[in-house]
């Protein structure tokens, strides 16, 4: 293998794939990055066995070949080089690659490419195309609601549904549920669904930042893998097997009280309350009080901790329905408020022990359900 490419392209490529390099593993080869010539490009791949990221770097290939190199070492070394052409040549003994750039020369030992775990290839499946910024928003709205503990593996994933002209992402951790619906760019050829690891979507969200071309998702017919095509990058991820809760029936269809408030005000009050809630086990209490004659309605947000003190915040609210009370884990409340976009949000409740629903006003694309804390009022 003999080739050359520009240091900045190689550096960018390595930064992309290194997100998939395993951090804690019993399989040392997964600490490596696979370097492979692919026609007139250099193909870089990394995998932690759940997620694989592949990208291509423009290169001048003189001789074909492949080798794996420790990812961290290679990335650190390439990043320290000047922004010039990097020449690479495979050396058989000791097996490795000799790098030369400007007046730097280095040799890094590698391992035979045959030993690298095969990156799954996805040949066919249900394909959907989504606008990259729509997908990025969708992921940001649901991914934090997924469970982080492995006690129920399906809940560490995000349910992806493709149907007609629409896709749905849903995440839940047993106490809250986030559902986002967005448009597909083309009519889906057939309905499909999968449970994608939340970690995969977090990585995808990061890669989507500077994307402007449509993103292509392909779910294999066996529902074991999903392939995501971005410009110059391919992500293949294992899917989580199992049955995701039937989330549609967990979203209340009606409510006794609906309070519409300004997101920024609500956010500020919730954050202030969460400071006091830390010691008190993270409970934030909300009281929704409809306005009387001539006075407007309000929402009162309180929290207290025996050792620290207590806090009360009031915000204006437009209220439909009766007075209501509900208590939430402060983290659940601040989590959802922090990912919503400015404007108005609605909080819908019925009783202190039935779910609270947070929605943007004037937009049906997002629903967030939080189960309350059962407290003494």
Partner 1 sequence: MPIRVLSSQLAARIAAGEVVERPASVVKELVENSLDAGATAVSVEIRGGGLELIRVVDNGSGIPTGEAELAFHRFATSKLPLDGNLDSITTLGFRGEALPSIASVSNVLLVTRPADQPGGVVVEVAVGDLIRTAPHGSPPGTSIAVRDLFQNVPARLKFLRSPPAEATRVQTVLHQFALAFPGVRFHLDVDGRASFTSSGNGDLRDACSAVYGTKTAKALLEVISESDGINLIGVHGLIGPPDVSRASRSYINLLVNRRWIQSRALTYALEEAYQGFLMEHRHPLAVINITVQPSEVDVNVHPAKLEVRFLHERDVFATLQRAVRGALVALAPVPNVRSNFASSRPSSTTTARPLEGHQSQQALSLFAPVEGTDTTYTPRGIVPSLRVLGQVQSLYIVAEGPEGMYLVDQHAAHERVLYEKVRREISDRAPQSQGLLESVVVELPAILEESLEAHRDEWTMYGFDLDTFGPHSYLLRALPASLKDADPEEAFRSILEEVGRGESKIDWEEKMVCSIACHSAVRAGKTLSREEMESLLLQLEASDQPNTCPHGRPTMVHLSAAHLQREFGRR
Is residue 143 part of the contact set for partner 1 (CB under 8 A)? no
Q: Single out the segment in contact with partner 1 by CB under 8 A; choices: 59-67, 88-96, 121-129, 366-374.
A: 366-374
Binding mask 216-245 for partner 1 (x = CB under 8 A): -----------------------------x
The CB-of-180 to partner 1 minimum distance in angstroms stands at: 17
Q: Single out the segment in contact with partner 1 by CB under 8 A; choices: 157-165, 215-223, 281-289, 308-316.
A: 281-289
Instruction: Calculate the alpha carbon distances from 187 to 104, 134, 162, 219, 315 in Å.
Output: 53, 16, 10, 15, 43
Nearer CB in complex with partner 1: 236/283 = 283
Q: Which of 152, 206, 278, 342 binds partner 1 (CB under 8 A)?
A: 152
Q: Single out the segment in contact with partner 1 by CB under 8 A; choices: 14-22, 58-66, 172-180, 286-294.
A: 172-180
Nearer CB in complex with partner 1: 110/372 = 372
Nearer CB in complex with partner 1: 99/332 = 332
Residues in the interface with partner 1 (CB under 8 A) total 26
**Residue 330 in 3-state DSSP?**
helix
Strand order in the sheet with 356-360: 192-197, 157-163, 166-172, 176-183, 366-370, 356-360, 344-349, 257-262, 309-321, 297-305, 283-289, 324-329
Question: DSSP readout, 220-288?
Answer: -TTSSEEEEEETTEEEEEEPPPS----GGGGS-S--SEEEEEEHHHHHHHHHHHHHHHTTTTSEEEEEE
**Residue 191 in 3-state DSSP?**
coil
Distance between CA atoms of residues 155 and 144, nearest Å: 11
Is residue 282 part of the contact set for partner 1 (CB under 8 A)? yes
Is residue 171 part of the contact set for partner 1 (CB under 8 A)? no
Is residue 283 part of the contact set for partner 1 (CB under 8 A)? yes
Q: Which of 161, 355, 360, 368 binds partner 1 (CB under 8 A)?
A: 355
């Amino acid at each position: 293998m003999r080739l050359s490419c520009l240091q900045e392209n190689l550096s960018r490529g390595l930064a992309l794939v290194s997100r998939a390099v395993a951090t804690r593993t019993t399989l040392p080869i997964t600490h490596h990055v696979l370097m492979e010539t692919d026609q007139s490009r250099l193909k870089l791949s990394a995998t932690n066995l759940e997620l694989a990221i592949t990208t291509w770097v423009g290169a001048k290939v003189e001789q074909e070949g492949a080798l794996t190199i420790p990812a961290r070492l290679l990335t650190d070394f390439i990043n320290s080089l000047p922004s010039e052409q990097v020449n690479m040549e495979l050396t058989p003994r000791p097996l490795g690659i000799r790098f030369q750039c400007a007046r730097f020369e280095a040799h890094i030992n590698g391992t035979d490419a045959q030993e690298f775990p095969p990156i799954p290839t996805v040949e066919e499946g249900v394909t959907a195309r989504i606008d990259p910024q729509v997908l990025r928003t969708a992921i940001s709205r649901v991914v934090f609601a997924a469970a982080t503990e492995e006690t129920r593996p399906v809940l560490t994933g995000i349910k992806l549904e493709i149907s007609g002209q629409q896709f749905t992402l849903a995440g839940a951790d047993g106490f809250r549920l986030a559902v986002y619906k967005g448009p597909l760019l083309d009519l889906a050829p057939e309905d499909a669904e999968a449970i994608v690891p939340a970690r995969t979507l977090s990585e995808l969200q990061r890669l989507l930042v500077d994307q402007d071309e449509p993103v292509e998702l392909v779910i294999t017919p066996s529902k074991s893998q999903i392939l995501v095509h971005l410009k110059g990058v391919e992500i293949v991820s294992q899917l989580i097997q199992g049955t995701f809760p039937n989330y549609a029936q967990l979203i209340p269809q009606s409510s006794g009280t609906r309070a519409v408030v300004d997101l920024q005000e609500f956010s500020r009050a919730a954050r202030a309350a969460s400071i006091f809630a830390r010691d008190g086990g993270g409970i934030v209490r909300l009281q929704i009080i409809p306005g009387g004659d001539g006075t407007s309605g309000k929402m009162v947000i309180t929290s207290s901790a025996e050792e620290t003190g207590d806090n009360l915040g009031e915000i204006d609210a437009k209220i439909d329905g009766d007075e209501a009370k509900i208590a939430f884990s402060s983290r659940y409340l601040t989590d959802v408020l922090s990912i919503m976009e400015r404007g108005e949000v609605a909080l819908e409740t019925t009783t202190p022990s039935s779910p609270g629903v947070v929605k943007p006003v004037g937009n049906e694309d997002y629903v967030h359900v939080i189960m309350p804390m059962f407290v003494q009022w």
